[in-house]
């Protein structure tokens, strides 16, 4: 799995690296997950990893989680190889955590790496200056305990088809990254890629568990498998690809025919361009949530057994994807004046400026929060334009964030009136 060729590399020495990611999930404050990966296939060697979420005190009731960190101790031939190994290690582990938390992440990046060899006094170091959004918690952050992460990570690393499962989890994260109203098409496109990638693993597992040959399985699934037939004797040929297609529907989508058909129409329509977008958008909107639940359940089912199911991460709040998009402030009002003459001089539209400060923040484990804000709003309209019936509130994330304004001041920039 992503192994490195060591045939031309220098002798090994110890390095310390930290890889970070802006993620929609966090470990509880003061908790960490430590892994000793002895023959980690990504690195082709042992890697010790400590995964945790640092918090900062911003003067609020809750400390703010900043980002997810992967502190890696490993051996490498030089600094560049150490950076590759550490980044690949985080890139393999983080999709499994995302599937467990049912929340998204941004691709991990190296923050710092350096030679940690005690036998020398000269230590090469690389620091990567990253522009981080340290208030990314306001886009959503779900807490997940290390004890819920460890089983899925252990099973992924040890699985004989870990590379394909990992790729499926990456596709699932792509769907989570666009999990908001209006982007259902992109989400379902990624979810069907999960189904296509994981179907061969699901098929092999199902056949091994039920001791079914290709011929026996084709007979069992004859309602969805219609392979080619000999024009002379009418004998049906059984092709592996037909069985894999059957597995997508029967195993990955759990034989939910309508959800499968809608997701497939979205995938085919986007890939081949033979469907109009409004029809595809309706299919995506109506099948996205169930499609996500089914492919995630299939992924987890391939890592766990019926005797030891991953019950906690199938229950609330992890049973539903966490949206990741910023808190948005919405204002509505009536402008009284002549249409076409509402904007101030030098502008095409009325001007509204918002200055908002967070006064307090209380985070909850499920990803919701209570936020207290203070805001100032300045309006600029054409001379004589009067605004009334102003209503202000929070929009698309209002159900996730309970936001209270302690004071709202209206500015006096406007030549018009409010």
pLDDT tens digits for range 60-87:
999 989 899 999 999 999 999 999 999 9
Burial of 379 (0-12, 13-18, 19+ CB in 10 A): buried
Q: Which residue has the higher pLDDT, 39 or 316?
A: 316
Q: Is 1's pLDDT higher than 80?
A: no
Q: Which of the two residues, 325 and 269, has the higher pLDDT score?
A: 269
Q: What mean pLDDT do residues 153-175 have?
A: 95
Q: What is the dihedral of CA 209, 214, 216, 222, to 10 degrees?
A: 110
Residue 62 φ/ψ, nearest 5 degrees: -100, 140
Categorise residue 384: left if φ over 0, alpha if ψ from -120 to 50, beta otherwise: left
pLDDT digits (tens, 9 = 90+) for 111-121: 999 999 999 99
Q: Identify the pLDDT of residue 409.
A: 42
Convert the pLDDT of each residue in 377-399 to its tens digit.
788 999 989 888 877 766 655 55
pLDDT at 306: 87
Please tell me which residue, 313 or 395, carries the higher pLDDT value.
313
- Residues 340-360 have a mean pLDDT of 87
Residue 404 is predicted with a pLDDT of 60
Determine the 3-state secondary structure of 235 from DSSP. coil
Q: pLDDT tens for residues 239-249?
A: 888 999 999 99
Highest mean pLDDT among 16-25, 229-238, 349-358, 368-377: 16-25
Of the candidates 130, 86, 100, 112, the one whose C-alpha atom is nearest the C-alpha of residue 27 is: 100
233 to 24, 148, 171, 221, 380: CA distances (angstroms): 58, 55, 43, 22, 82
pLDDT band of 39, cuts 50, 70, 90 = low
Q: Is the pLDDT of residue 411 over 50?
A: no
Provide Rg for the chain, Cα atoms: 26
* Residue 90 binned pLDDT confidence (cut-offs 50, 70, 90): very high
Average pLDDT score over the chain: 86
Q: What are phi and psi of 125, to 5 degrees?
A: -140, 140
Q: Which two tokens stand for residue 231?
A: 């024009």
CA 24 to mean position of chain CA atoms = 7
Q: What pLDDT is stored for residue 138 in this prediction?
A: 66
- State the pLDDT confidence band at 43, using cuts at 50, 70 and 90: low
126 membership: H or E segment, kind and range: strand 125-127
User: pTM here?
Assistant: 0.85
**Where does the pLDDT of residue 228 fall: very low under 50, low under 70, confident under 90, or very high at 90 and above?**
low
| pLDDT for the residue numbered 417 | 45
Burial class (CB in 10 A: 0-12, 13-18, 19+), 351: middle
Q: What is the pLDDT of residue 413?
A: 41
Residues above pLDDT 90, as percent of the chain? 61
Question: pLDDT at position 400, please?
Answer: 56
3-15 tens-digit pLDDT: 545 545 568 899 9
∠ CA(281), CA(270), CA(95), 5° rounding? 90
Identify the pLDDT of residue 412. Answer: 39
pLDDT recorded at residue 416: 42
pLDDT tens, position by position, 274-284: 678 888 999 99
Measured between alpha carbons, how far is 77 from 125 in angstroms, rounded to an integer? 14
User: What are the residue ranges spanned by the domains of the chain?
Assistant: 1-157, 159-325, 329-410
Which residue has 């054409």 as its token pair? 382
With helix as H, strand as E and coil as C, how does 17-65 read?
Answer: EEEEECECEECCCCCEEEEEEEEECCCCEEEEEEEECCEECCCCCCCEE
pLDDT in tens, 284-296: 999 999 999 999 9
Q: What was the pLDDT predicted at 387?
A: 86
């Amino acid at each position: 799995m992503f192994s490195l060729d060591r045939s031309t590399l220098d002798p090994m020495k110890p390095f310390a690296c930290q890889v970070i990611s802006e993620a929609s999930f966090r470990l509880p404050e003061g908790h960490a997950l430590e892994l000793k990966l002895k023959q980690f296939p990504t690195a082709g060697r042992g890697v010790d990893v400590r995964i945790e979420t640092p918090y900062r005190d911003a003067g609020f009731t809750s400390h703010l989680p900043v980002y997810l960190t992967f502190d890696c101790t490993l051996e490498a031939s030089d600094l560049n190889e150490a950076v590759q190994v550490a980044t690949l290690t985080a890139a393999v582990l983080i999709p499994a955590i995302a599937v467990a938390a049912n929340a998204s992440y941004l691709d991990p990046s190296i923050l710092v790496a350096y030679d940690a060899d005690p036998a020398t006094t000269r230590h090469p170091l690389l620091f990567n200056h990253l522009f981080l959004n340290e208030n990314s918690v306001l886009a959503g952050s779900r807490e997940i305990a290390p004890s819920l992460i460890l089983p899925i990570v252990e099973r992924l690393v040890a699985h004989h088809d870990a590379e394909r499962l990992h790729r499926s989890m990456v596709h699932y994260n792509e769907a989570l990254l666009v999990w908001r109203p209006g982007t259902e098409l992109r989400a379902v496109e990624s979810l069907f890629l999960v189904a296509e990638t994981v179907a061969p693993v699901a098929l092999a597992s199902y056949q091994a568990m039920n001791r079914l040959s290709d011929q026996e399985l084709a007979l069992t699934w004859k309602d969805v498998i219609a392979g080619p037939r000999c024009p002379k004797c009418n004998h049906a040929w059984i092709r592996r690809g037909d069985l894999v297609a059957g597995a997508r529907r029967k195993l990955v989508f759990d034989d939910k025919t309508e959800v499968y058909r809608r997701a497939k129409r979205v995938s085919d329509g986007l890939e081949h361009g033979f469907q109009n977008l409004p029809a595809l958008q309706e299919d995506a909107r109506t099948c996205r949530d169930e499609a996500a639940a089914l492919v995630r359940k299939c992924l987890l089912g391939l890592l766990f057994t019926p005797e030891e199911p991953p019950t906690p991460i199938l229950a609330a709040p992890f049973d539903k994807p966490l949206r990741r998009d910023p808190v948005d402030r919405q204002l509505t009002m009536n402008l009284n004046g002549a249409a076409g003459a509402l904007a101030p001089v030098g502008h095409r539209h009325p001007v509204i400026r918002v200055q908002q400060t967070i006064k307090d923040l209380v985070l909850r484990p499920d990803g919701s929060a209570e936020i207290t804000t203070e805001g100032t709003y300045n309006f600029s309209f054409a001379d004589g334009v009067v605004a009334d019936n102003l209503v202000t509130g929070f929009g698309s994330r209002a159900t996730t964030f309970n936001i209270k304004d302690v004071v709202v001041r209206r500015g006096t920039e406007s030549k018009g009136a409010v």
